[in-house]
Structures are given as structure tokens and as C-alpha cells.
């Protein structure tokens, strides 16, 4: 099939592109390289460097006529969304609407949207959190992701555009940008390589559900059939606090370093952990990596990069 991946030069998107090419699909990548890297691009994919909110997206759809869209392009910095919610909405919401409009105009067969689990549910939910939990996002980033989900459903209801929404836990692995606010594993790896202390915001008791990038890519592949419509959490159903994560990485790297704490970030979410039972039942997906195994693969990558 002819598949277009927005954000295909990014961390998750580039891994997804590689896997789809291995499966003999034709790939088109749309990425503005604001956070993605040219070095991540698969040479077998056709590449367009534009923003998803650009009117030029129409020309790409007209020329390429993609069957399937994987939508990963986003302004992904939660803190930036708080300081500049207009910029966040323009990229994430307006850009997504531009994409959806082109899907309808050029008769795309399906869209698969990579959303967020942790930033959508907020703190006032049970863990592991099911898809039926009340969404209470604490940031404009989470609000935008939830808004896009609602727009995706509108286009399904109004135009019969098949869709799958994947709500991701905290993804980590090779190619993650250590300059990215959300990539704590990559940040710690960078600090370890440079023999720096590991800095933790607040007391470090805030928890996250860490899911390895290869498992996320497998979920994306499972979502490809047109008949699969719905919202699925993609996580491990296991909480790890940031103190534990730091200790695990020190052990994995065999580095001698200190853990230091600094001021907490105001409004930071305190817990996140996703149930994957629906994905297990309906699309036959479950995580293949535990945290120790995933951290070993990730450290190997960063240590040899």
C-alpha cells in the first residue's frame, strides 16, 4: 500500500517507517524537521519537508494519493504548550484538520492517529487506566490531543473515514531526542554518557508507564486493517517512579554517578499508567519488552551513538 507518515523523521515515526518498508509498503514521509532528524529518514521513503498546516500538503496528497495515513507529527513539548498554547493549537489542531480535510478530498482509506495516554487522562483516575476513564488533561498539549481525537471521530461519523487512535504511554528507545522535554530516559542516558549527575524534578515519586518504541511500532502495524476502528491504550500497565528509573539506568550503564533533585515543575502530572487489556483483546497486542530489557537496548544505542 501507499502509506504517508507525518512525523516520519521523528523518534517513533522513523521506526514505524522502517518497519512498514520492511513489509514492502511504499512510504511517503512528511516532516518539517523541527524535532525530527534527517539521519532518521529511511532512504527508501519519499520525503517532503513541510509543516502539516501548510497548504502545500494538498499538492502532496494530489501527487501521492496515499491509501493510509499514520499521523505522528506534533508539537510535543508539554511545557511549551503551557507557555504558548496558541502555537501548540496551531500546530496540533489546525495541522491535524488540514490533514483530515485532505484525507476526505483525496479519498484516503484510513487514518491512524498516535495520541497520548498520560496527558489525556490526568491524575484523578485509577491505574492502570482503561480507555473508559474520564479524560481530564492538565495541559494544552493534552487538550489538543483529545480535541484531535474528537475531530477524527467527527470525520468518521460524517465522512465514514475509518480510524484507529493509539493512546501512548511514555515511549522510550533508540533515536529519542534527549533535548525533548518528555524523553526522560534519553535525557538520563545523555547525562550518563557525559558523566553528569541525573537530575530529577521534585521528589521523584511521580510515576510513568514506560513502553519501548518497538512495541509501539507493533501496535501501529496491528492497527493497519481498515476494519479496526476505535481507541486503544498502548502501555505496559506498570508504574515506575522517576527515582526507580534513575537507579535502573545507573545499574544498566554501570556508571558511577549521583542522583540529584531540583525544584518540582508546577502542574506536572504525578501518575500515569495505562491498561492495555482492550488492545490485547481486540487487536492482539501486548508489550513484548519489560523495562529492564528495553533500557538495555536503549543504553546500547546511546552508548554507541
Catalytic residues: 141
- Picking from 144, 279, 131, the residue whose alpha carbon sits closest to that of residue 218 is 279
Amino acid at each position: 500500500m501507499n502509506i504517508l507518515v507525518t512525523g516520519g523523521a521523528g523518534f517513533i515515526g522513523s521506526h514505524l517507517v522502517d518497519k512498514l518498508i520492511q513489509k514492502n509498503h511504499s512510504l511517503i514521509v512528511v516532516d518539517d524537521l523541527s524535532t525530527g532528524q534527517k539521519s532518521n529518514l529511511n532512504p527508501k521513503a519519499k520525503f517532503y519537508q513541510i509543516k502539516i498546516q501548510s497548504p502545500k500538503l494538498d499538492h502532496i496528497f494530489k501527487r501521492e494519493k496515499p491509501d493510509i495515513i499514520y499521523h505522528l507529527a506534533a508539537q510535543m513539548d508539554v511545557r511549551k504548550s503551557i507557555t504558548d498554547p496558541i502555537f501548540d493549537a496551531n500546530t496540533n489542531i489546525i495541522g491535524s484538520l488540514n490533514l483530515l480535510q485532505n484525507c476526505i478530498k483525496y479519498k484516503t482509506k484510513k487514518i491512524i492517529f498516535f495520541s497520548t495516554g498520560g496527558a489525556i487522562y490526568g491524575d484523578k483516575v485509577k491505574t492502570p487506566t482503561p480507555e473508559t476513564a474520564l479524560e481530564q488533561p492538565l495541559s494544552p498539549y493534552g487538550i489538543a490531543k483529545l480535541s484531535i481525537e474528537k475531530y477524527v471521530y467527527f470525520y468518521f461519523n460524517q465522512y465514514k473515514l475509518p480510524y484507529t487512535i493509539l493512546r501512548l504511554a511514555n515511549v522510550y528507545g533508540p533515536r529519542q531526542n534527549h533535548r525533548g522535554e518528555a524523553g526522560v530516559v534519553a535525557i538520563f542516558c545523555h547525562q550518563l554518557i557525559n558523566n553528569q549527575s541525573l537530575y530529577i524534578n521534585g521528589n521523584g515519586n511521580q510515576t510513568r508507564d514506560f513502553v519501548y518504541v518497538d512495541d509501539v511500532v507493533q501496535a501501529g502495524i496491528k492497527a493497519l486493517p481498515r476494519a479496526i476502528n476505535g481507541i486503544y491504550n498502548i502501555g505496559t500497565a506498570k508504574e515506575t517512579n522517576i527515582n526507580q528509573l534513575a537507579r535502573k539506568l545507573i545499574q544498566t550503564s554501570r556508571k558511577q554517578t549521583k542522583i540529584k533533585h531540583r525544584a518540582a515543575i508546577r502542574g506536572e502530572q504525578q501518575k500515569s499508567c495505562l491498561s492495555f487489556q482492550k488492545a490485547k483483546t481486540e487487536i492482539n497486542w501486548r508489550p513484548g519488552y519489560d523495562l529492564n530489557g528495553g533500557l538495555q537496548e536503549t543504553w546500547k544505542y546511546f552508548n554507541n551513538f
